[in-house]
Amino acid sequence: MQARGIIEHADEGSHHSELDSVRQDPPCSEPAVQPPPFPSPAAPCPEPAAPPPTPAVDPTPVPVQAEVSALSAMQYGQTGGDGRGLSFGDPSVDPHNVRRFALRQAEDHSAALRQLRAGRKSGCWSWWIMPTPPFIKDGREVGTGMNREYAIRSEEEAKAYLSFGQLRQNYLEIMQAVADQLEAGTTPSSLLGIDVPRCEASVTFFRRMGEKAEDAKLSMLCERVQNLLASSAKGAKKRSLAGLPKRR
């Protein structure tokens, strides 16, 4: 009780005692380290950015619609252009192996188009640029090994061809160039050389395929080329009967 009274009196500043030294803090040789200030409530700490969601992987096969370019042609048969690592040599993905046309067209389509627009075919590319059904004579397939390799042997293969990457668009561009030249007065033989029969067979086949698929753009363009080829042939026959020289 006495100690309590001494401390109370010391607090009031009325008396001093030896117990005052107990209440005093010992001197510090270094200033106390202050804790870092807390952020103001008006400026809260920003929330850490959430990581981007991981995209779900679809286990189902991706339809083969990869566009072939000249830069990717050499690798196209090994990995899929869609990044899924598909093998386009796999029959379950490309059962008709129409990629054989895509690989060749990646190399030759632009040159073929330039030649036709210039009025004269000068390269060897007609097998994969203007494909046809097999050439049959007396019930047997005829033609070179290249003819056989690039023949389209069924409607299913033709459908696969037209739905594969740029093949349909490439075909339309080629036949548009042929039609433009024929309408401008270039003769079929001057434009296509020995490949006039191949062009006739090709547009006849794809006109029928376009009609079945209700692809008006394809069927109408092929019909247009057919009529131009037929008209030119009739004109050449008339000139021959009249003893006039052939047009060049």
With a CB cutoff of 8 Å and minimum separation 6, the contacts of 80 are 62, 64, 66, 86, 87, 88
Q: Identify whether 248 is part of a domain.
A: no
Per the prediction, the chain carries an average pLDDT of 75
Could you give the number of structural domains in the chain?
A: 1
Angle between helices 155-163 and 196-212 (to 10 degrees): 90
Q: Identify whether 172 is part of a domain.
A: yes
**For residue range 156-188, what is the model confidence (pLDDT) as tens digits?**
999 999 999 999 999 999 999 999 999 999 999
- Alpha carbon distance 101, 124 (integer Å): 14
- What CATH number has the domain bearing residue 150? 1.25.40.380
Q: Provide the CB-side half-sphere exposure for 230 (13 A, CA).
A: 9
Q: Identify whether 127 is part of a domain.
A: yes
Given a contact cutoff of 8 angstroms between Cβ atoms, the answer to whether 141 and 135 are in contact is yes
Q: Identify whether 30 is part of a domain.
A: no
Q: Identify whether 134 is part of a domain.
A: yes
Q: Identify whether 35 is part of a domain.
A: no
Print the domain residue range for 178: 73-241
**Is a pLDDT exceeding 60 seen at residue 248?**
no
Q: Identify whether 142 is part of a domain.
A: yes
Q: Identify whether 226 is part of a domain.
A: yes
**For residue range 200-234, what is the model confidence (pLDDT) as tens digits?**
999 999 999 999 999 999 999 999 999 999 998 77
Given a contact cutoff of 8 angstroms between Cβ atoms, the answer to whether 87 and 93 are in contact is yes
